A = this chain, B = another copy of it.
Amino acid sequence: MGFPGNAKNAALADFRPGIKSKVELGSRLIMAIMEIGAGKEDRGHEHPFEQCGIVIEGVIEMFLGDERLLLGPMDTYFIPAGLFHGWKTTASRVRLLDVSGKP
């Protein structure tokens, strides 16, 4: 809450293998600064809540249903609830600011 820091420079903690994060956990919103390592992939999943965000640094290939795009710095995404989506990083790590509506 308040001012969680700079998305580019904030110190992050290990979240899952290859993924670090700093999370602000509200009652309705979850805001996370995330860093995903090079060469990682999520082949797809879905969840019953909306998710949106912006690329801070690096590039990430993302698909939302049938749409697929290579996103770079300042590119945004908005994932409807229930839509199958996934992502893939390339040769370098990527930082995102990601916001989910709480399940």
Contacts and interface: CB of A to CB of B under 8 A. Distances in A.
Given A26-B80, A80-B1, A52 B74 contact: no
A56 B74 contact: yes
B74 A2 contact: no
A6 B75 contact: yes
B28 A49 contact: yes
Interface residues of A, number: 39
A27 B5 contact: no
Interface stretch (A11-19, A38-46, A63-71): A63-71
A101 B28 contact: yes
A26 B27 CA distance: 18
Nearest to A24: B78
A84 B65 CA distance: 39
A43 to B, nearest CB: 19
